[in-house]
Structures are given as C-alpha cells and as structure tokens.
Structure 1
Amino acid sequence: MEKTLEVLLKQVRDKRDQVVEAVANNAAKDYSEYQKLCGEIRGLSITEGFILDLAKKMEFSDE
C-alpha cells in the first residue's frame, strides 16, 4: 500500500476509534448528539472502505 494511503488510513482509523470511545464513555449529552457521533463512525468506516478499495485497485493496476 502506498505510504500516503497508509497515513490517511491511520488517521481515519484513529479518529473513528476516538469517536467510538466517546460513545462508549457516554460523551453524548442527548440522543441528537448520539446520532451525530454514530453518523461520524459510519462515515469514517465508509471512508476506510474507500481507501482500502483504492489501495487494491492501485496494487492490481501495477501488475
């Protein structure tokens, strides 16, 4: 995997882990904030998938 993608993937995973930890520690003040945090987790997970798909495509295009 390209170094740039590795760095980006790490940043996305680190941020997702922070948000998951916040949810686990009851950081949401109300249901609306809980939904926002869940949306962030979902978005970061989707982004992770996009990065992994891109890395695979780049790997196979080199062959």
Structure 2
Amino acid sequence: MEGISWTDLDLEEQRTLAMLGDGVSAEFCDPVALLTLRRIGLVRVARLTPAAEKMLATALLHEFA
C-alpha cells in the first residue's frame, strides 16, 4: 500500500473505492477492480481499510478545493 496514490489507480478502481465508501455493496462493483484493491491492501472483504478511507478523503478534498 505504501507509495500508492489516488492517481495511480485506474478509473474502475477509483469508482470501486468511491462506491464502497458510499456503502454500496461489493456485488455492484467491478470484480477485477475489487480484486486489485484487495491485493494491494485497500479493501478487506468488502470494506475499505483505514488507508483507503484516508486516500478517498484526500482525493475528495483535492477535487473540491
């Protein structure tokens, strides 16, 4: 997980993080993106890790700043 930023993720991975952050079921997320996010440690089971939550919050702050 170290060294990975929001911009390192592709659009589907970003969308999947945002959907999970909004409480959408993992069943509605892209399965390949979900697998990748699990592999790099941003998702456990179907929930965001604290690192993923921080990354998502930071990305949103930069988007709306």
Q: TM-score range by the shorter chain?
A: 0.3 to 0.5
**Higher alpha-carbon Rg:** 1
Quick check: which one's strand share is greater?
2
Higher RCO structure (Cα 8 Å, ≥6 apart) = 1
TM-score by length of 2: 0.35
Quick check: which one's helix share is greater?
1
TM-score by length of 1: 0.35
